[in-house]
């Protein structure tokens, strides 16, 4: 349920709560609201307003029923449908896989959680931030990171990996004192 539906549901619930309190008060003998309704319904404008409010409540009821039963796919989930059914892999799960794969590359000292994006050409795009040691070749390490991410995510998740962007944010051996943020 989206934010707009939640706002509508809140207003709808508050309106029905007020109507419930009014009904309880009417049952206890307070007739002023009932007299006001009778007076309002005696004029054409009052009947038109009552019909419009009833129609609005009916439309809102249908909208809320629809949004309650319609199941939308989760954001950031990779969805694969095959003969056996549907498989969803969350972006968070893929991000964790990318981080673990990146940490296994020799020369990588620290990894910031990877970001996963949908690639317009199909599959996913990955962005990962790393820190490397000062005794390694940055082009060699980043190339290995890109290759391993592409291969491992394709093998494990079954989705093609498009561009893999690697940002080296620190180079050095004293990275134990400072972690990437």
DSSP code of 73? P
Sorted by where each starts, the structural domains of the chain and their CATH numbers stand as 3-69 (no CATH), 77-171 (3.30.70.1350)
pTM over 0.85: no
pLDDT in tens, 59-118: 999 988 888 787 665 555 566 777 888 888 888 888 899 999 999 999 999 998 678 777
pLDDT in tens, 47-60: 999 899 999 999 99
**Contact status, residue 157 vs residue 126, Cβ threshold 8 Å:** no
Among 81, 99, 107, 103, residue whose Cα is nearest residue 159: 81
Rounded CA separation 15/116 (Å): 42
């Amino acid at each position: 349920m989206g934010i707009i539906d939640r706002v509508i549901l809140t207003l709808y619930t508050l309106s029905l709560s007020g109507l419930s309190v009014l009904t309880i008060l009417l049952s206890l003998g307070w007739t002023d609201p009932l007299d006001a309704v009778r007076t309002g319904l005696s004029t054409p404008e009052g009947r038109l307003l009552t019909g419009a409010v009833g129609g609005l409540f009916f439309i809102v009821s249908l909208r809320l029923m629809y949004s309650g039963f319609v199941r939308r796919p989760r954001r950031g989930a990779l969805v694969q449908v095959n003969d056996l059914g549907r498989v969803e892999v969350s972006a968070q799960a893929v991000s964790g896989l990318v981080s673990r794969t990146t940490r296994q590359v020799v020369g990588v000292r620290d990894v910031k959680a990877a970001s996963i994006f949908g690639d317009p050409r199909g599959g996913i795009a990955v962005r990962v931030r790393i820190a490397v040691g000062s005794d390694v070749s940055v082009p060699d390490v980043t190339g290995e990171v890109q290759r391993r991410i592409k291969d491992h995510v394709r093998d494990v998740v079954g989705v093609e990996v498009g561009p893999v962007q690697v940002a080296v944010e620190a180079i050095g051996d004293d990275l134990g004192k400072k972690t990437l943020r």
